[in-house]
Amino acid sequence: MNSEMRLAQRPSVAVLFALLFVAVLAGCSTYRSRGIDDTGNATEVVFPDLSRDATLNEGTFPNIENLRLVDRGATKDQLYGLIGRPHFREGLFGVREWDYIFNFRSGGGITRCQYKVIFDINHQAQIFLWKPAQCRDLLEPKMMEQFARMSYSKLRELVPNNCASLWTDNGKLHMPILVRPSHAGLTDA
């Protein structure tokens, strides 16, 4: 009877194996950013190695309009619907970052970019990073980019004075469409 009680008190081998397996999985990712606080800020951002860690090595060509909709506060389900599942083994429990490989057609070729989303403690997207940082510019519409870079005098030449709705009372061009969205999708590393 005494030996039966001792056996009942011992954790089973299966339970120990399961706990060990979960611990190994939690620590197997070598590319996790470090020091992620409750708000989603990291003390050290780490991007995964494309050649070793990707589950989708070729990446994807994202729907740019969907990518532009990514913003702070998005849930994992919303991100999954907009830009798909992450392209790396992110872990099983308490995952606070997702990584992607995106391809963009630009300049007659293909530009390959890494995109990282870091979540806050409530698993809402807060930080959005690009590697290389210039990849974020690929989300900007080309015409608007060129228009935004024009000098004020050049704009004055192009937009006639008789287009009253485009000019403010103090003679400045009213350009609400050029105001760059302040969403986190345009943050860089």
pLDDT digits (tens, 9 = 90+) for 28-72: 444 588 888 888 888 999 999 888 788 888 999 999 999 999 999
**136 belongs to a structural domain:** yes
Which residue from 102, 97, 107 is spatially nearest to 67, judged by alpha carbons? 102
**13 belongs to a structural domain:** no
The pair of three-digit structure tokens given for residue 104, joined into one six-digit string: 């963009």
Domain that holds residue 53: 28-140
**162 belongs to a structural domain:** no
Q: What is the value of pTM for the model shown?
A: 0.62
Number of domains in the chain: 1
Q: What are phi and psi of 5, to 5 degrees?
A: -65, -40
pLDDT of residue 99: 94
**58 belongs to a structural domain:** yes
**181 belongs to a structural domain:** no
DSSP H helix total and E strand total for the chain: 7, 3
Residue 2 CA to chain centroid, in angstroms? 58
39, 31, 46, 26: CA torsion to nearest 10: 10
Residues in the chain: 189
**135 belongs to a structural domain:** yes
**168 belongs to a structural domain:** no
CB 103, CB 111: distance < 8 Å: yes
**97 belongs to a structural domain:** yes
Q: Which residues of the chain have pLDDT under 70?
A: 1-31, 91-92, 142-189
